[in-house]
Amino acid sequence: MTPTAADIAEYFSKGIETTILSPEQAVAWADSVIADTDKPPYEFIAIALSRSQQEIISALNEVPGERDPTKAGKWLLARLQQADIQSIEGLAEAVRKAMMICRHCELDEQIYYDFDNIDDSLYLARYDQFGTVDGCRTGFLAFLYQHATPLPTV
């Protein structure tokens, strides 16, 4: 099913708020919608012309239609599958971002706690108290693949 403009706007809005996506990516999306439309809606022009991150988020929130923050959250989790998690620091950052996505996008509490458990385990593994960093990395990827949904091609 093709996502609605409102759902994609929610994805960019939540993505910018959680630092998974950049404001420039949202502007590029708006520019592509404008380029593909004879009479682009004002909201897309507002996104494209916005100067600050807050203006872009505000303009994204003005795109009309029903929004599903959980859909945006699952798409953002899919973006984390591309994160560089080879280092302990990279893994820790990706886990924290996954937790932030869960909260920001109203995902099920259990998903948040799954990532929180990985965060706690990583802390213990980092200081050789319990478990391994590789085990945390494997668990993190397993939860991402379980809960993430790739953004459909628009």
- CA–CA distance, 150 with 154 (Å, rounded to integer): 12
- CA–CA distance, 109 with 131 (Å, rounded to integer): 24
Residues near 20 by beta carbon (within 8 Å), at least 6 away in sequence? 76, 79, 80, 97, 101
CA nearest neighbour of 119 among 144, 142, 93? 93
pTM value? 0.94
Residue 143 scores a pLDDT above 90: yes
pLDDT for position 114: 97
Write the pLDDT tens digit of every residue in 73-107. 999 999 999 999 999 999 999 999 999 999 999 99
Planar angle of CA 92, 97, 102, nearest 5 degrees: 130
Residue 153 scores a pLDDT above 80: no
Write the pLDDT tens digit of every residue in 6-51. 999 999 999 999 999 999 999 999 999 999 999 999 999 999 999 9
Residue 57 scores a pLDDT above 90: yes
Write the pLDDT tens digit of every residue in 103-112. 999 999 999 9
Write the pLDDT tens digit of every residue in 119-142. 999 999 999 999 999 999 999 999
- HSE-up (13 A, CA, CB side) for residue 143: 23
- Other C-beta atoms within 10 Å of 5: how many? 18
pLDDT for position 2: 83
pLDDT for position 47: 97
pLDDT for position 154: 58
Exposed e or buried b per residue across 77-86, where buried means at least 16 C-beta atoms within 10 angstroms of its C-beta? bbbbeebebe
- CA–CA distance, 49 with 114 (Å, rounded to integer): 39
